Structure 1
Amino acid sequence: MTSTVLTGNTFFFEPDLQLRVVKRDPEIPYSLHSHEFYELVFVIAGNGINFTQSEEQPIREGSVFFISPGIEHGYKKTENLVLYNILIGKNLFAKNFLDLSELPGFQSLFCKTDGIPFLHINPSQLAELLPTLQQMERETDIQEVGTGAKTMAYSCLLILLVSLSRIYDEVPRDNNQVVRRLSGVIDFMDRNKDQALSTKDLIKVANMSSSTLNRYFQHCTALSPIEFHIHKRIAYACTLIQEGNLSMSEISEATGFSDPNYFSRQFRKVMSMSPKQYQRIWTSHLG
């Protein structure tokens, strides 16, 4: 059976800027298909399986993967899965972006001609990249001339390519099996982003010793389990700031930080800026 081929004419508004951001909320099961263009996928919520004819890859919040033209893939067993798909025309995607091509991570993530390269970014990294991704979405939807939208959208793409390539270079490549071992405890963290968790809580869910749990998290994320959960709570705080419906004290309480000063210190530690600074930056992105 021949799979569906998605064409650029369906998605690209401008022939000289074949770049589009499509948010799928939710992404439902999707049969095998391929594209005439490149596709960079960010998973921002939920979970599921990305599959090809020969293999399956579990995906969840923080999964990032890159699909070259002609590669067949699909989605199944999706559960509240939310994706951002960056669609990039073949003529737009140059493999010699100045010194970007010198990064091993760029070669590994974006220059393979077979298979689907995967990367998992942590919650704070996702929170840092999300405003750039969302700005690209807005810029690619602007069709008026004389706005600089095309240049801005392209610059956002370059920022994402550099950032992901650098992150890829820092991540141990042998962590897939370990990540699967941690899936239950990470799901538990996802369901409890509104409160602090203790090491005792986590080792009970993970069904492993404290030292093993800590070693696995350090191997996969360079963070302790508690630090990783704090990153998830801060990423959730970033989402609440973006929504703009709550005060900072309410956001602090909603993410399980009973002391607003402690919340501010942890936010600054994770995001390298205060919550108010992040709010101002996010507001400027919207403008």
Structure 2
Amino acid sequence: MSYQILPEGMFFTENNLQMKVLLRDPEIPYSLHSHEFYELVVVVSGQGTHLFKGGEQPIGEGSVLFIRPGVFHGYDRINNLRLYNILLGKDVLSRDISDLSEMPGFREFFMQTGENIPICKLTGYQLSEVIFLLREIKKESEQAGFAKGSATMTYAKLLQLVIQIARIYTPRPQLSSRFPYERLTPIMEFMEQNLNRTLTLEELVEVANMSSSTLNRQFKTITGWSPVEFHIHRRIAYACTLILKRKMTMEQISEATGFSDANYFSRQFRSHMGMSPIQYRKVWTEPMQ
């Protein structure tokens, strides 16, 4: 079977920085294809299935993918998928990158070999930061005129984006077969069913049917949080959807997500998202450029 191969000449002009930022709003289903350039994908919202030779993987808000030249991929089963495509010529990342190649996150995410396509998952706050940076890169890269320094500024901001992703990216740790990830699935499902209230460690231990020390250790290994902290984070994520999808006051959202009062809710929100609920609403309701 033959697949479409997208050439560099479709997107890049000669004697210019070989880079282009495209906002796909929305992205559409796309069969398996490859390109002669690198592609960095940042999913802004929605869900979909990312296709690659030999398999598929779910993607959604905060997913970041890096596809190398010659690797086939595509999209299917899309639901309001919005994403940025950052197209990079084959030589763009081979410039003076100094110690960048020594970063573990850069090697693991940007220097993969074979058909593997790594996925980095951003938190809501990290995604907000990345979107601001992408807007700046897109605007700078589209500046017309000569001798304005736009190409150099674009490249500088691109390196900032690459470093930011490399610092965030950590491959999921390999867990012992004695404790497969699936053992935490019931407790995570229980948490998702109770995003409107506080859960105690005692409740979680009973549902998980394991000791509190084991539950804490395995949750931190997989998520980086304790079970209670992880549930708070999921409630904050639920609050984010309420902030954007419903016309509710912060007091109503605080109550709907089980926080004792709006001030406590705001403190927890800032702790997890790096900004206040009001700031978050402004960031995500501002029209995208």
Provide TM-score, normalisation by structure 1. 0.72
Cα distance in 2, alignment partners of residues 13 and 106 from structure 1: 27
Q: Is the 8 A contact 1:124 1:235 kept in 2?
A: no
In the alignment, which residue of structure 2 is the partner of 1:265? Answer: 267
Give the match for residue 17 of structure 1. Answer: 17
CA contact (8 A) 1:122 1:221 kept: no
Give the direction of change, closer, same or farther, for the CA distance of 1:93–1:225 in structure 2 (3 Å limit). same
- 1:157 is matched with 158
Change (3 A) 1:130 1:112: same
Q: Deviations over 1:17-62 (max 9, x none)?
A: 1112222222222101001110111223222222222222222222
Counterpart of 1:82? Answer: 82
Task: Give the Cα separation in 2 of the matches to 1:103 and 1:215.
Answer: 27
Q: Sequence identity, in percent?
A: 46
Question: What is the CA RMSD across the aligned residues, in angstroms?
Answer: 4.3
8 A contact 2:48–2:77 mirrored in 1: yes
Q: Paired residue for 2:138? A: 137
The answer to whether the 8 A contact 1:136-1:157 is kept is yes
Query: In 2, are the aligned partners of 1:6 and 1:36 still within 8 Å (CA)?
Result: yes
| SS, match of residue 174 in structure 2 | coil
Moved more, 48-57 or 36-45: 48-57
| Secondary structure of 1:39's aligned partner | strand
- Indicate the residue corresponding to 1:29 in structure 2: 29
- What is the CA–CA distance in structure 2 between the aligned matches of 1:268 and 1:230, rounded to whole Å? 12
Q: How does 1:42-81 map to 2 (within 5 A)?
A: 42-81=42-81
CA distance in 2, matches of 1:183, 1:55: 26
TM-score under structure 2 normalisation?
0.72
The CA distance in 2 between the partners of 1:128 and 1:71, in whole Å, is 28
Gaps in structure 1 of 5+ consecutive residues? none
Q: Distance in 1 between matches of 2:149 and 2:88?
A: 19
Q: CA deviation at 1:229?
A: 5.7
Alpha-carbon distance change, 217 to 123 in structure 1, aligned in 2, over 3 angstroms: farther
Kindly name which structure, 1 or 2, has the bigger radius of gyration based on alpha carbons: 2
- How many residues matched? 274
Structure 1 outlier segments of 4+, above 4 Å: 179-186, 195-200, 207-217, 228-241, 249-258, 271-282
